[in-house]
Structure 1
């Protein structure tokens, strides 16, 4: 076989291995080394297998991953996120479908601290859904709103997916964070608009249940949740104003989370120890995937598959290519989890995007938005299964998917707006640069 054939065979074998539940980092790394060996021989394969892991893990930018994870674990373990839903429901109390909208708003804040969609969905499935069911909300709306709101953790900075995209495509992580803010807020606003409209048109979905709170009660709730918005504003504000880089922001965020938790007397040895262990485990898993993806990217480049793809799409407009990639990502999102899709496809697509002159910051935001949709689409829909696992048999799986389908439609509209108006993603980075 020639190099091109070896490349395509390697891609197919990798997909099969992932389908068989082989860990993605192991699957990509093993196929890459075997493929490089078949193309270049034993010694080049050994040399690449030795060099690339050191180059990737030694990249200073990658240190942002454990630092942001640590920030999220400390904030969650110390209870800095515990009052978010209670505060949001007070201020959205009079809006139709207010409890569901409150779950979206509080999920957005929680996601900014954790950077994880799955963690957000898991947390609010235990906090928000029981409250909505108690208030008479339709189970499909209650579960669907939390599953969809959990995806906001992929786009609203700080986001692990944006960090990995920046490393793989060699673009500024700070700029990606700035670019993701408005699309992330737009996604949340679209969800709240959808909930409000559906609640107005069909009041039985979300019975009106106004609660009256005194000023002192509202102030007490604000005192309970203020540390998290302050933490997020401090971290993102420092990035946006250029006071520190995204990599430095992770360390500063973890330090501030620990300081705030300590001043509130919630930073026990157990909380800190658990946060450090969870950070180490999550970071190790991500680093294995990143190393495997880097080896796979080198294999794909040597196989000339990207050259073939670029030549095959010669003459296509940038918009056509974006739409085709979007369709591919939506299909893959039905079967693979987010980081698998991104790391499998970017090595193949990178030369094509460069050839067409597509802005990589804009494409990064589109990519993460597409991956968000994949988190709730059947049959995989990781967020849906997280909620199903948390709730047990309370809400059938089919009803959760039915509820989340409305939010997928809202996401598709948001995606269309991001494609039609790139300025939604690019205006803020340009403004901050000036």
Structure 2
């Protein structure tokens, strides 16, 4: 059997295993190891198995992953976000669908400090959705707002997905962080505009016009006093990166330290919630690293089979190197696989095949990275997996059905597609800020 045929059978076997809910790391690793030994021999296969993971995991840039996770989980477990929603509510609740707009704004701000989309969705689901339900918001609409807004953590820096893409594609993580700003703000702006229009023309979605009581200057100032930790944390992390004070890799450790100091200063830090944050960060990091190791084996297996090169040549011959046709093909792949595979696994599974295509078409890897992240955002709320939807469901229990939440995110998926089209059609939305900051 040719190595190319072995590669094709390996890809099919991997997808079948993942379809059977075998953990991604196990599916990738087991198929790759068997395939490598089959193509070479047992001794060569064992040599690759023993050396490749150690060399990759020793990459200094990977330390950003557990540190950014720890920063986000410290914010969550110490209640640093509790005052955020209340402050946004006071200033925005008078708008049509004001509590939903508040949910988007609070999620965007929290995403800037937390990193993981799941952390944003989980934290805001427990704060914002019950408040909307109390004011008679339609349950699917209320939960859909937070499920979709939680995805902003993927595009608004710091983002774990950006860190992993930057490491794998060998591009500047700092440039990716900066490039994600405008697309992230555009996504949030489209959400807000859609919410206001829908609530204006269909008031029953937002409690049939139930408004919030007026608040005075004193209450507004008091609310602002609860928000200060997040701007300081964001400023410390992103300001340090943009000024060159420290690298994006070091920024994760700085962010975790600053988050811990702020929680201690506010007397919200105790041994129990600190231990919980560390535990969540360790579990999350271990899961990501396991997938990374599986992906490394899968990449080596594909390279030995020659499949990525053959596929790249075939696709480039069909697309004639047209970047937009390549992006269309990638989007179709991500929409289909995104229904079954979670975002980190999907990105790491497909990059070994996709990046040679992108390199062959001479596409900007920063711009393409933002497109990939946006596609992964869409996957976070696309059925049947829709990881953020399940996070919201887990946080709310029986108060809102899974079907209602998926129905509630439909309009947000439309806005995401519009944002994706803008990012693809206008590359400067992603590339202008990095150019300004570093030229």
Once the two structures are TM-superposed, the CA of residue 282 in structure 1 deviates from its matched residue by 1.3
1:247 equivalent to 2:252? Answer no
C-alpha deviation, 1:306, in angstroms: 1.0
Q: How does 1:48-59 map to 2 (within 5 A)?
A: 48-59=48-59
1:294 corresponds to which of 293, 296, 299: 296
Aligned to 1:112: 112
2:438 corresponds in structure 1 to 433
Say which of 266, 269, 281 aligns to 1:267: 269
Superimposed CA distance per residue, residues 25-53 of structure 1 (whole angstroms, 9 cap, x where no aligned partner): 12111111111111111111111111111
Q: Structure 2 matches for 1:14-413, cutoff 5 A?
A: 14-206=14-206, 207-208=208-209, 209-315=211-317, 316=319, 317-413=322-418
Q: Distance in 1 between matches of 2:139 and 2:429?
A: 33
CA–CA distance in structure 1, aligned partners of residues 409 and 276 of structure 2: 33
Q: Distance in 2 between matches of 1:269 and 1:314?
A: 56
Which deviates the most, 203-212 or 45-54?
Answer: 203-212
What is the alpha-carbon distance in structure 1 between the residues aligned to residue 24 and residue 140 of structure 2?
Answer: 32
SS at match of 1:225: coil
Structure 1: stretches of 5+ with no match in the other structure: none
Over residues 305-353 of structure 1, what are the superposed CA-to-partner deviations in whole Å (9 max), with x where a residue is unaligned? 1111111123411111111111111111112111121111110111111
Return the alpha-carbon distance in structure 2 between the equivalents of residues 327 and 87 of structure 1. Answer: 40
Deviates more, 1:178-187 or 1:60-69: 178-187
- Of 421, 424, 427, the residue aligned with 2:426 is 421
3-state secondary structure, aligned to 1:75? helix
Tell me the alpha carbon deviations over residues 394-430 of structure 1, each in whole angstroms, 9 at most, x when there is no partner.
2222222111100000000000000000110111111
- Whole-Å separation in 2 of the counterparts to 1:148 and 1:279: 23
For 1:314 and 1:383, the matched residues in 2 are separated by 34
Q: TM-score, normalised by structure 2?
A: 0.96
Distance 2:58 2:22 in 1: 26
Q: TM-score, normalised by structure 1?
A: 0.97
Q: Distance in 2 between matches of 1:189 and 1:373?
A: 16
Number of corresponding residues: 434
Name structure 2 gaps, 5 residues minimum.
none
Shift of 1:157: 0.9
Contact 1:241 1:432 in 2 (8 A): no
Query: How much has 1:385 moved relative to structure 2?
Result: 1.8
2:384, 2:72 → 1: CA distance? 29
C-alpha displacement of 1:2: 0.7
CA–CA distance in structure 2, aligned partners of residues 320 and 38 of structure 1: 35
Displacement of 1:281: 1.5
CA-atom RMSD in angstroms:
1.2
**1:270 counterpart SS class:** helix
Give how far 1:224 is off.
1.1
Check conservation: 2:162, 2:177, Cα contact below 8 A: yes
Structure 2 Cα separation of the partners of residues 314 and 59 of structure 1: 32
Q: Tell me the CA shift for residue 260 of structure 1.
A: 1.1
How many Å separate the matches in 2 of 1:351 and 1:289? Answer: 21
Partner of 1:12: 12
Contact 1:93 1:211 in 2 (8 A): no
Q: Residues 77 and 396 from structure 1, CA distance in 2 versus in 1: closer, same or farther, beyond 3 angstroms?
A: closer
Cα distance in 2 for residues equivalent to 1:240 and 1:294 = 31
SS at match of 2:22: coil
TM-superposed CA distance for 1:114, in Å, is 2.1
Query: Which of 43-52 and 204-213 deviates more?
Result: 204-213
Checking the alignment, whether the CA contact within 8 Å between 2:72 and 2:119 is kept in structure 1 is no
Paired residues of 2:316 and 2:357 also in contact (CA < 8 A): no
